[in-house]
Amino acid sequence: MRIIVLIKQVPGTADSRMDPETGVMIRDAGESIMNPLDEHAVSEAVSIKKSHPGTEVVALSMGPPAAEKVLREACARGADRGILLSHKAFGGSDTIATSRVLAAAIRKVGDVDLVLAGEKATDGETGQTGPMTATLLDMPVITFVHRLTVSDKHIIAQRMVEEGVEELQVNLPALVTVVKDINNPPLPTIRGYVLAKKQTFPVWGPADLEIDAGVLGLKGSPTRVVKVFTPKLSRQTVFYTADTEELASAAAAAVLKTIRERGLVKRDE
Amino acid sequence: MSDLEQQPRVMILAEIRNRQIHDLTLELLAWGRKLADQLGAAVDCVTPGVEQGDFNKLIQGGADRVLAVRGDSRDGLVITDAARLLVATIRAEQPEIVIAAATTFGRTVMPVAAARLATGLTADCTALDIDPKDNLLLQTRPAIGGNIMATIKTVQTRPQMATVRPRSIKPGGLDPDRRGEIVLRQYDIGADAREVLLSFTPDAEQGGNLENAAIVVSGGKGMKSKENYQLLEELASLLGAGLGATRDAVEAGWAPFSRQIGLTGKTVSPKVYLAAGVAGKIQHLAGILTAEYIIAINEDPEAQIFKVADLGIVGDAPGVAAQLIQALKARQADGREN
């Protein structure tokens, strides 16, 4: 079985910047890390490999040359190899343009049974790239998965929805996006780091993927950021101190008054 | 009739849960109506796979037409089916705009459909508007953990697609005199490469539906113990509120992951958010950005949560929670006596 894990490099801190002119995220600012949910996707792939001998786990990441770092981390966590999708033509891609690159790369890797990805990335927070990539590959997608059972021909996935859990079965190949609850990723081992250090990562651009640059990058992206602004947080906070029981009681009364004023207290029976 | 056919269209994808039309659809209709009225357009509401439902309610809520579309199979409606039905409907009706809810349903069906149609999609918008200069849809969403807002346009391709966050608009109310059309349609969507729903297990706990709750109570590390966190279960039930937790509280094992609010968990937009013992890390704040009113209880007066709070209580969070429970119970007892 061959499993592909889609990995994104995201800003390690929440203070990354956006170019105010083009609205494109500036990705080389500050320290970058692997998108936290992608760690769960890698761990899931590696644990499937343990129960399915002969499985190969391939990490794919589209990003700047520095994204090689997250591929190396994926290998330290147990992925067998990694491929970097990097070219200036990819810059400024929105979710569909990104999905075109990922889908083409998955096709080029070939013979893929399962694609795993984090449900969303902490920077863009769209959760769209997984379902879009699956669609371009004509694969069904199961999102928000928190339990996954893999057989040779199909998977059974539990999907967390608003009011409960759906259990779904689908034949392979398929794409699955995972939520945090799926596993508890172990830290990479020393041996993992040593093995990963020796890895080299091929870099694929539009020519390798045989895609027309016109459908990639900013030019190939149907969406445009037209304005960026900082939300106003002009809260006029009213403070209460509650360091005695009476004061706590008064504070509680103020809270309930506020809630009542907003028409939200359940009617008294 | 011919007028309607030449009119531009704004399409709403009804929120479907368990093959039923969910009330969140009324919020989507409110958005649809607002945009359509600016464009002089009609509102179509698509209800994929719904066999039985109160379609008239959708008309009363703002739809000009309800497009009750279904495929040929009757064995449940999975995401793949819903997306194929939506694509078929969009191809037939050629709407300018398609809006769905930013829920597990909308956030999966819409990217599948947008990829199939090779058009733009903006996730999790908090505001939608029409640019009067070019009649294009202005899609505004939080970016980079909610630190900034970005307004996005789909310039060339059609339709312009967006998912909107629940509670980002007030439903417009039902007008019993509104007239509209209910159109039944069947599309051949095939049965290949689709997932099969084996079972659905509803959440055991009450008020588990955090995303739609008008009040959300949540607890963080400052609740100090699992027992103290459980005070919030009682408080939430007395208030009829949804119950949430910070990542720290979930990692401490006080609450299941399904309650986690923030960047790697859920996003909520309640009218009142009551944060008990929540420090207010940026990752958590990203999940409560559109809460209307924020009440924070924390013993650290410098806690970051107070920077976004409307009402701040500096004090022991479990102690104040206990006082709230006491006060609510006293009020209930009074109510019964009167």
What pLDDT, on a 0 to 100 scale, did the predictor assign at position B2? 46
Same domain, B178 and B215: no
CA distance A256 to A190: 54
Indicate if the pLDDT at residue B229 is higher than 70. yes
3-state DSSP assignment of residue B36: helix
Q: Model confidence over B81-108: pLDDT tens digits?
A: 999 999 999 999 999 999 999 999 999 9
**Residue B67 domain-assigned (yes or no):** yes
Chain A residues within 8 A of B238 when measuring between CB atoms: 266
B70 in the same domain as B31 = yes
Mean pLDDT score of chain B, rounded to an integer?
90
Same domain, B258 and B296: yes
Identify whether residues B220 and B286 lie together within a single domain.
yes
B192 is a domain residue: no
Tell me the shortest Cα–Cα distance from B178 to chain A, in angstroms: 28
For residue A171, give how far its alpha carbon lies from the nearest alpha carbon of chain B (Å): 7
**Best residue of A19, A94, A128 to probe chain B, by most B CBs closer than 10 Å:** A128
Is the domain of B41 the same as that of B94? Answer: yes
Is residue B23 a part of any domain in this protein?
Answer: yes
Count of all residues that appear for chain B in the document: 338
Residues B161 and B241 in one domain: no
> Is the residue at B204 inside a domain?
no
> Is the peptide bond prior to B159 cis by the omega test (within 30 degrees of 0)?
yes
Q: Residue B287 maps to which CATH number?
A: 3.40.50.1220
What local confidence, expressed as pLDDT, does residue B209 receive?
73
Cross-chain Cβ contact A248/B193 below 8 Å: no
Put simply, the answer to whether A222 touches B80 (Cβ < 8 Å) is: no
The ipTM is: 0.88
Which runs of E-coded beta strand occur in A44-113? 56-62, 81-85
Domain A2-215 classification at class level: alpha beta
Residue B64, pLDDT above cutoff 90: yes
pLDDT at B258: 84
- Distance from the Cα of A82 to chain B's closest Cα (Å) equals 25
B73: domain CATH number is: 3.40.50.620
B156 and B266 fall within a common domain: no
What is the model's pLDDT at position B192?
A: 84
More confident residue, B263 or B80: B80
Structure tokens at A26: 């500036």
- Residue B314 and residue A269: Cβ atoms within 8 Å? no
Taking CB atoms and an 8 Å cutoff, what residues of chain B touch A23? 150
**Residue B253 located in a structural domain:** yes
Interior/surface letters A158-182, b for 16+ CB within 10 angstroms, e for the rest: bbbbbbbbbbbebbbbbbbbbbbbb
In this structure, are B116 and B227 located in the same domain? Answer: no
Q: How far apart are CA B17 and CA B77, in angstroms?
A: 10
Domain residues for B45?
2-186
Tell me, yes or no, if A21 comes closer than 8 A to chain B by beta carbon.
Answer: no
| pLDDT for A168 beyond 50 | yes
Number of domains observed in the structure of chain B: 2
Mark whether B104 and B221 lie in a shared domain: no
pLDDT given for residue B167 in this prediction:
79
d(CA A173, CA A58): 15
Q: Looking at A214-218, A261-265, B190-194, B235-239, which range is the least confident one? A: A261-265
Same domain for B13 and B156: yes
CA dist., res. B286 & res. B264, Å (int): 10
Q: Write down the domain spans for chain A.
A: 2-215
The type of residue at A48 is I
* Spatial separation of the C-alpha atoms in residues A6 and A36, rounded to whole Å: 12
User: Which residues in chain B have their CB less than 8 angstroms from residue A32's CB?
Assistant: none
Indicate if B27 and B164 belong to the same structural domain. yes
Q: What is the pTM of this model?
A: 0.85
| B12 shares a domain with B131 | yes
Picking from A179, A238, A252, the nearest residue to B327 by CB comes out as A252
Of B280, B262, B102, B163, nearest to A233 (Cα)? B280
